[in-house]
Each structure stands twice: as structure tokens, then as C-alpha cells.
Amino acid sequence: MRKWIFLLVIVIFSIFEITILDYFKVFGVKPDLFLICVVMVSIIFVFELRWALFLSIFAGVLKDTFSLNVFGINTLLFPLWSLLIIKLSKNILIENNFIYAALVFIIVIFHDIVTRLINLTLGNFIPLIIFLRITLIESLYTALIFPLVFKLNQPMLNYKK
């Protein structure tokens, strides 16, 4: 049951990111709720790899559908991040919201770097200063939002740390 509820959570987050979150931009940047979903999926479904990958791919397809990036970048990268988080969670005990936020910060930075490099190879040039500003603000904003989003979704997902 929790799996289907989380599917609904991803859809709600996608609608929220596309509409309401535009009013909460900081320096033109908003947090990445799709990556928050991928991290939550990976944390909650650590021992159910198939569901974690399915939900990560679903979040990637939704983000690719609603974004201006090249279609397929997020669909390929989200399961990769999910696999890395699951591997890390099995080897290292992660119990603290601060560590979760740091993990989200790092994942968002890596995701932005890989996405920008792919766009650069396709001829979409972004000046370095603008790229750094967007990446750092988005990573920090997403990491600061993550503990709140995770805490609000814990009762609905029946997940206890």
C-alpha cells in the first residue's frame, strides 16, 4: 500500500513544483522536489530495489516531461542516484536529518553537474558563474527543504527512523 501512496506523493510533488513552487523562488531558483522524492524513495525502499528504481524512473519521466532539458536525462540519472543512495544506506547507518540533508545537497550538486555537462556537450553553453550560482543555491535550498518534506511525509508513508 505504501508503494502506491508514494506514487501519488510523486505526482502531487510534481504538480506542486510546476505550479505553486514558482512563487517561492530564491534568486530565480526553486528546490528540486523530484530529487527529494528520489532520496526519500531510496531511503524508505532500501530493501526493495525494484520499487525504488521504478519510482525513481517514474519521477525522472515526470521531470523530463515538465522540464526544458533534453528528454531522458533525468530518467537515466534518477535511478543512478537511487542505486547509489541504496548502496550507501546499506553500508553506512544514516539516522540523522542533518546527514540526510547533506546527502541531498551532494546529490543535487552531482545531478546539476552531470546535467550541465550533458547540456554542454549538446551545445547549450551556460557561463560558469551563473552555473555555480544556480547549482549552489538550488543545492542549499533543496537540502534545507528536505527535512521538512521528509518529516511531513513520514506519517503518511508509515516510515519510522
Q: Mind listing the domains of the chain with CATH numbers?
A: 2-157 (1.10.1760)
Percent of the chain residues past pLDDT 90, beyond the cut: 42
User: Can you point out the beta strands (E) in the chain?
Assistant: none
* Whole-angstrom distance, CA of residue 19 vs CA of residue 9: 15
Q: What is the mean pLDDT of the chain?
A: 87
Task: Using alpha carbons, select from 96, 32, 116, 111 the residue that is nearest to residue 66.
Answer: 32
Place 1 in a pLDDT band, splitting at 50, 70 and 90.
low
| pLDDT of 103 strictly over 60 | yes
Measure the CA–CA gap between 7 and 13, rounded to whole angstroms: 10
Quote the crossing angle between the two packed helices 128-157 and 97-121, to the nearest 10°.
140
Enumerate residues 6+ apart whose C-beta is below 8 A from 106.
139
Provide CB contacts within 8 A for 113, sequence distance 6+: 135
pLDDT band with cut points at 50, 70 and 90 for residue 71: confident
